[in-house]
Chains A and B, each alone.
Chain A
Amino acid sequence: MGITVVEVTKQFGDFVALDDVSVAIPEGSLTALLGPSGSGKSTLLRVIAGLEKPDGGQVLLGDDDVTHQPARARGVGMVFQHYAAFKHMTVWENVAFGLKVRKRPKSEIETRVHELLELVQLEGLAKRYPAQLSGGQRQRMALARALAVDPEVLLLDEPFGALDARVRKELRAWLRRLHEEVHVTTIIVTHDQEEAMEVAGQIVVINQGRVEQVGTPRELYESPANEFVMSFVGPVNKLGDTFVRPRDISLSLEPEGDATEAMVERIVHLGFEVRAELVRDDGQHLLAQLTQEEAQALELERGVIVYAKPSRQTVFTR
């Protein structure tokens, strides 16, 4: 079931969280809502979930207008950043909760819960309490719990934010694989552009309550709609009115045409790539990224004077 958000607005007192937001989420997709803190992405998710009522606009699940329906009637599955585990229930009871509330027969609950625990690889831990699980395990439990009721839509609110870096990476990959298996329309909220690019098929970039751009990771990177998207999605150099990616800065030791003169401040070796931090006479800092060979060919080191020219640049027409 696809989701359509039409001209949704939401205010908290004087603060405008969502300003005329319209977005279409295709059925079966894995979409990321990406944006900085306070951008409104969580609010949008909660409006779709039915945990917040919008001041204006509509939310459609499939063809149904659910704008005025409470969360419990929408059939959405939700996963929270801090797990929201029912700490007084075992893992098994947590996952079974939605089914118990719907008064499903005991045998059905048994089968379904076992199925899901297997899916999220928590079979042996059914009798444990959330307090006895690691963060990653708790989040997998939360996912199983949300999936138990066969939701039409799965909503994840910064699900990996409370986990440490290694677990985060593992769960990202795991989520992708899960989505390929289960194919539920999924929306994930994140402020981490790397996470969005890695996990989602479609990204909605949100800033200050407005949608900046919607596209695939590649589209966002290669054809950003504006300065905000470009600089949010990756590092960028601003040269006057043009924007240049570090990879698109070519360096040479000889002045060429209108190349900018800059001094190398620092060289950072990132595996087989090299990041050169440059500084111009007027104090502006530039970032260039080259391969190991390119850096060696120029004999780059601290203090060397180079001439930088963009091999590709982007200009935004207002």
Chain B
Amino acid sequence: MATNAAAAVSRGAVLGRAGGGLARGIAVGYLSLIVLVPLAALVWSSRSQGLHTFWQEVTKPEASSALKLTVVVSLLVAAFNALTGTAIAWVLVRDSFPGKGIVNAVIDLPFALPTVVAGLVLLELYGPSSPFGVDVAFQRTGLVLALLFVTLPFVVRSVQPVLLELDREMEEAAESLGAGRLAVFRRIVFPNLLPAILSGVALAFARAVGEFGSVVLISGNIPFKTEVSSVYIAGQIESGNPAGAAAVSVLLLLISLAVLLAIGAFRHWRTRHDR
């Protein structure tokens, strides 16, 4: 009896491993077909006309201007989010007021709302038909506004769980040692929140760099002024220059990767005390 059961288990284990291997293979195949192969085609196409053409395409004035604008604005927006995101997370965790649950739910809205709808709603409130008389459409401010909208949840949701788990006794200990409220935040709370803030900033940056739907309506896509790379790339496709579009895409990807790696390395260095 016992040996039969043992044999069944080991048979099952072998089958399981074989079946698991098959499922794994299919899943990896799925991943390749959906993600890897198209991206490979992209990279290939960007080099298909030689490195010289690649370089030409990415140094075109309009392209490099768009690239510069995209990276700078995304960094600014991500950094601004570090501030506002942390403040909002703080209020949601440490403060209490009626309707807090609703506010907490609403944070996810930019994530659930289609980007084109986000662009349109911002355009309505802060564009030509604004009831406030404010008009930031077709300007960089409009661009920044759209990016702030879509990147809102990242730092907040990254910081919230960490703030919740934070050991209050650490803050009390610091207080008993003579630290005022600001010192407690600066020396105790903030350093422990920093890794989460950086994660959120990285996510926000990655999102901002590639944002299209919300930006395409409100920024006016004016070359050299408010045209971001994603819009430029779309334009290149439309004008029948897919290779050029591919070149700029690849460069944009590389720059994003570099920034994300830098943030990741900084975060890794800051959390060395946990290892």
Contacts and interface: CB of A to CB of B under 8 A. Distances in A.
Nearest to A76: B176
A298 interface: no
Nearest to B270: A88
Interface in B188-221: 188, 191-192
Contacts, number: 72
Contact of B176 (A49, A82, A129, A131): A49
Contact of B179 (A72, A76, A145): A72
Contacts of A90: 273
A78 B172 CA distance: 9
Interface string B146-174: 00000000000000000000010110111
Tell me whether chain B's interface is mostly helix, strand or loop, or mixed: helix
Given A80-B169, A129-B273, A87 B176 contact: no
A86 interface: yes
Interface residues of B, number: 20
B26 interface: no
Given A80-B169, A88-B192, A97 B177 contact: yes
Contact of B273 (A71, A75, A101, A131): A131
B180 interface: yes
Contacts of B187: 97, 101
B178 A72 contact: yes
A50 B170 CA distance: 15
Contacts of A98: 177-178
A231 to B, nearest CB: 32
B165 to A, nearest CB: 12
A58 to B, nearest CB: 20
Contact of A101 (B172, B178, B275): B178
Given A71-B175, A72-B179, A102-B178, 17 more contacts: A70-B175, A72-B178, A76-B176, A77-B176, A77-B177, A78-B173, A82-B169, A84-B170, A87-B170, A87-B273, A97-B177, A98-B178, A101-B174, A129-B273, A131-B274, A131-B275, A145-B177
Interface of A: 49-51, 70-72, 75-78, 80, 82, 84-90, 97-98, 101-102, 129, 131, 142, 145-146, 148-149
25 contacts: A51-B172, A72-B177, A72-B179, A75-B178, A76-B176, A77-B176, A78-B173, A78-B176, A80-B169, A82-B169, A84-B169, A86-B170, A86-B174, A90-B273, A98-B178, A101-B174, A101-B177, A101-B183, A129-B274, A131-B275, A142-B173, A145-B173, A146-B177, A148-B177, A149-B178
Q: What are the nearest 8 A-B pairs in CB distance? A: A98-B177, A84-B169, A84-B173, A129-B273, A78-B176, A88-B191, A101-B179, A80-B169
